[in-house]
Structure 1
Amino acid sequence: MSAVPILQPGVGPIPGDHYVRATPETVLWGRLPCAADTAVLEIASGETVTFDTVSHEGILDDQGKDPAAYFASHGVPAEQVLDDAIEIAVSVPRDVRADGPHVVVGPVHVRGAHPGDLLKITVETLAPRVPYGVISNRHGKGALVGELPRGERNVSVFASVAERDGALYGTLPLADGSDPVVAFPLAPFLGTMGVAVAGHERPHSVPPGTHGGNIDINLLVEGTTLFLPVQVEGALAYVGDPHFAQGDGEVALTALEASLRATLRFEVIPADAARAAFGNVTGPLVRTPEYLVPTGMDPDLDAAMRACVRASLSLLGGRWGMDEHLAYAYLSAATDFDISQVVDIVSGVHARIREADFAGVAAVEPVALAGDGGAA
Structure 2
Amino acid sequence: MATKENSNPYPTLISVDPFKSAFGQKGLHNRWHPDIPAFVSVKPGEIFKIECIDWTGAQIGNNDNSDDIKTVDLSQIHHLSGPVAVEGAEPGDCLVVDILDVQPFDKMPWGYTGIFELENGGGLFAKEFKSKACKAIWDLEGIYASSRHIPGVRFAGVTHPGLIGTAPSAELLATWNKREGELIAECGPSVPAVAFPPWQKGTHIGTSKALAQSVHDKIAKEGARTIPGREHGGNCDIKNLSRGSRCYFPVFIKGANLSMGDLHFSQGDGELSFCGAIEMAGVITLKTSIIKGGVEKFALKQPIFLPSPVDPLYSAKLVFEGIGVDIHGDGKQYNMDATVAYKQAALNAIAYLMKIGYTREQAYLLLSAAPVESHIGAIVDSPNACVTLALPLGIFEHDILPKDEGLKKLNFGQCAIRSDGVL
TM-score band by shorter chain is 0.5 to 0.7
Aligned residues: 245
1:49 corresponds to: 48
Query: 2:35 — aligned with what?
Result: 36
* Cα pair 2:54 2:263 within 8 Å, conserved: yes
The alignment partner of 1:146 has SS state of helix
Residues 19-62 of structure 1: per-residue CA shift (max 9 Å, x gap) = 2113712101x423x211111111111212201111135833xx
CA 1:181/1:57 → structure 2, altered by over 3 Å: closer, same or farther? farther
How far 1:198 sits from its partner (Å)? 1.4
> For 1:302 and 1:202, how far apart are their aligned partners in 2?
32
Structure 1, 196-205 or 124-133: larger mean CA deviation: 196-205
- Aligned partners of 1:15 and 1:253: how far apart in 2? 36
Tell me whether 1:282 sits opposite 2:301 in the alignment.
Answer: yes
State the alpha-carbon separation in 1 of the partners of residues 13 and 97 from structure 2. Answer: 16
Q: CA 1:289–1:147 in structure 2 vs 1: closer, same or farther (change >3 Å)?
A: closer
Given that residues 100 and 205 in structure 1 are in contact (C-alpha distance below 8 angstroms), is that contact kept between their aligned partners in structure 2?
Answer: no
**Cα pair distance change 1:193/1:46, threshold 3 Å:** same
Corresponding residue number in structure 2 for 1:265: 287
- Matched AA of 1:127: Q
Structure 2 CA distance, aligned partners of 1:274 and 1:266?
16
Matched, 1:169 2:162: no
Q: CA deviation at 1:202?
A: 2.2
TM-score, scaled relative to structure 2: 0.52
Match among 133, 137, 148 for residue 115 of structure 2 = 137
Segments ≥4 residues shifted beyond 6 Å: none
Structure 1 match to 2:85? 109
Report what 1:191 is aligned to: 162
User: Which structure has more strand as a fraction of its residues?
Assistant: 1
Is contact 1:192-1:242 (8 Å) kept? yes
Q: Secondary structure at the match of 2:58?
A: coil
Could you say which residue in structure 1 is the equivalent of 2:267?
246
Query: Residue 198 of structure 1 contacts residue 231 of structure 1 at CA under 8 Å; is this kept in 2?
Result: yes
Task: Supply the AA of the counterpart residue of 1:22.
Answer: V
Whole-angstrom CA distance in 2 between matches of 1:224 and 1:259:
20
Q: Cα distance, 1:284 vs. partner?
A: 1.4
Q: In the alignment, which residue of structure 2 is the partner of 1:25?
A: 26
Letter in 2 for 1:257: E
**Aligned position for 1:232:** 253
SS in 2 for 1:246: coil
Counterpart-to-counterpart distance in 2, 1:125 and 1:26: 20
Cα distance, 1:122 vs structure 2 = 0.3
Return 5+ residue gaps in structure 1 as ranges: 1-12, 64-69, 76-94, 291-300, 305-335, 340-348, 350-376
Asked if 2 retains the 8 angstrom alpha-carbon contact of 1:137 and 1:148, the reply is: no
1:189 Cα offset (Å): 0.3
RMSD: 3.3
Residue 16 of structure 2 aligns to a residue whose secondary structure is coil
In the alignment, structure 1 residue 157 sits paired with structure 2 residue 176:
no
Equivalent residue letter for 2:77: P
* Pairing 1:289-300 to 2, within 5 Å after superposition: none
- Match of 1:203, SS state, is coil
Task: Say which one has the larger Rg.
Answer: 2
Instruction: Tell whether the 8 Å contact from 1:196 to 1:231 is kept in structure 2 after alignment.
Output: yes
Amino acid at match of 1:44: K
Unaligned runs of at least 5 residues, structure 2: 1-6, 18-24, 66-71, 171-218, 310-335, 340-373, 378-386, 388-423
Q: Secondary structure at the match of 1:245?
A: coil
Quote the offset at 1:173 in angstroms. 4.6
Counterpart amino acid of 1:53? Answer: C
CA distance in structure 2 between the aligned counterparts of 1:205 and 1:238, rounded to whole angstroms = 11
Conserved in 1, the CA contact under 8 Å of 2:13 and 2:40?
Answer: no
Distance 1:14 1:38, change over 3 A: farther
State whether residues 240 and 308 of structure 2, in contact with CA within 8 Å, keep that contact through their aligned partners in structure 1: no
Contact 1:190 1:240 in 2 (8 A): yes
Cα drift, residue 149 of structure 1: 5.8
